[in-house]
Chains A and B, each alone.
Chain A
Amino acid sequence: MTDRKIPVTEDELHAYVDRELPAERRSDVEAWLSTHPEDAERVRSWRAMADVLHARYDSVVNEPVPRRLELEQLMQQRRKWLYGAIAASLLAFVAGGGTGWLAHGAVASPSTFQDFTEDALDAHRLYVVEVRHPVEVPGNERAHLQAWLTKRCGWNVRAPELETTGLKLVGGRLLPGPTGPASFLMYESASGERFTIYTAKATTETTQMRYTAQEKDGAMFWADRGVGYVVSGASDRQRLGQVARLVYDQAEKADKNGS
């Protein structure tokens, strides 16, 4: 009976050993192995290999986890990183003096934006390196993207036109923000430099524009009419300021037209 069955392939032998073979084929493979000693020997050697691997590495599982890998320890590092970012933004604010311009006068406490810049820079770093799936909705569906993000976020989400500074809309995605949904838009230049615009509900109505840098990445952030904006990109401050200014101006214009 078995010899009328389809011969067993090498893939099936692997699948058999790894328990990936459909149940109804298992007995066929077992029958095959009883009459094909070379295949039976291969299967035996793969199982022995697994045993040696486990014998060699399973002891790691029982070692005490080093302190530096404890989650509590890592969370603390994260807070340190956060404080570092705030310190950097304060420093930039003081050193930069007049370069940040006053939007509407109010000055937010540094903590207002800690969640924002942190989330925005994390999202920036996470997605700018993505080649295949940087966004959920591509930039050629701009109208759909804007409508979708506006509906989910609850404020008017517009993807600004940044072509004048050489940036094309790659697309956007929805992210969880500090107090609710956040919109995340990505732009790219012909040379591959990527900028992202992150917006989420802010606790402060309006603030002036600030700059912060973290390793290779920089961010300009501000709040306007209860919405916080973070424009992230390479830490070239002038270039970033130019892009942020365009984003700011267009949001301003859209709001004036809208209300």
Chain B
Amino acid sequence: MIPALRRYARALARDADIADDLVQDTLVRALRSERLFLGGDVRSWLYTILTNLNKNRRRSLARRPQFMPLLENNPDASGTEAESRDIARALSTLVEEQRAVLLLVMLEGLSYREVADIQGVPIGTVMSRLARARAHVKASLEGERAPLRRVK
């Protein structure tokens, strides 16, 4: 479970240290809570804590000046390296809720129902967030691939 949480956190927060901080806070909270002893779906619950912690973190960041990490922009990067850089960049431009939905469904393989519970919204909202996130990432990836063909 911890490796999967780390994967989700890494994709969500991009920075590896921040991601592991999120995982650590999630586990500490889980350990302190009585929910562990009540059983239930621990996996979903851990994703819920992490998603909320990241939301809070971003909210407090939003009040401070933003430091966008500089992206390596190596034109010689091989196909997969470039793809991997582009997907990270595309993710970073998504709004928070859409990014979480996209990652929970596509990367972590959670069901729409589970994601709806994690975000505390109806399934219809999850589906529209997912649709918007996919459209945005698709457009972003296609834009990256063919910057010269983009016409304003």
Q: How many interface residues does chain A have, given as a range?
A: 35 or more
> B80-112 vs A: 1/0 string, CB under 8 Å?
100110011000000000000001011100011
User: What A residues does B141 contact at CB under 8 A?
Assistant: 49, 52
Chain A interface, >50% SS class: helix
- Flag if B11 contacts A18 (CB, 8 Å): no
Q: B118 in the interface, Cβ–Cβ < 8 Å? A: no
A18-B105, A126-B33 known; A65-B6 Cβ under 8 A: yes
- Flag if B31 contacts A61 (CB, 8 Å): no
User: What B residues does A175 contact at CB under 8 A?
Assistant: 34
Please name the residue on chain A nearest to B103 by beta carbon: A53
Name which of A72-80, A147-155, A249-257 contacts chain B. Answer: A72-80
Option from B7, B23, B105, B131 in Cβ contact (under 8 Å) with A58: B7
User: What A residues does B77 contact at CB under 8 A?
Assistant: none
Q: B42 in the interface, Cβ–Cβ < 8 Å? A: no
Option from B7, B38, B105, B134 in Cβ contact (under 8 Å) with A57: B7
Q: How far is the CB of A215 from chain B (nearest CB, A)?
A: 13
- Flag if A20 contacts B111 (CB, 8 Å): yes
User: What A residues does B7 contact at CB under 8 A?
Assistant: 57-58, 60-61
Q: How far is the CB of A201 from chain B (nearest CB, A)?
A: 16
Q: What is the interface of chain A, defined by CB distance below 8 A to chain B?
A: 10-11, 14-15, 18, 20, 42, 45-46, 49-50, 52-58, 60-63, 65-66, 68-69, 71, 74-75, 77-78, 119, 122-123, 126, 132, 175-176
The 7 closest A-B pairs by CB, nearest first: A60-B7, A61-B3, A56-B84, A50-B106, A122-B32, A52-B87, A57-B11
| Selected A-B contacts with CB under 8 Å, 30 pairs | A14-B127, A14-B134, A18-B106, A18-B130, A46-B134, A50-B106, A52-B83, A52-B87, A53-B103, A53-B106, A56-B11, A56-B83, A56-B88, A60-B7, A60-B10, A61-B7, A62-B3, A65-B3, A68-B24, A69-B23, A69-B24, A69-B27, A74-B24, A74-B27, A74-B28, A77-B28, A122-B33, A126-B33, A175-B34, A176-B34
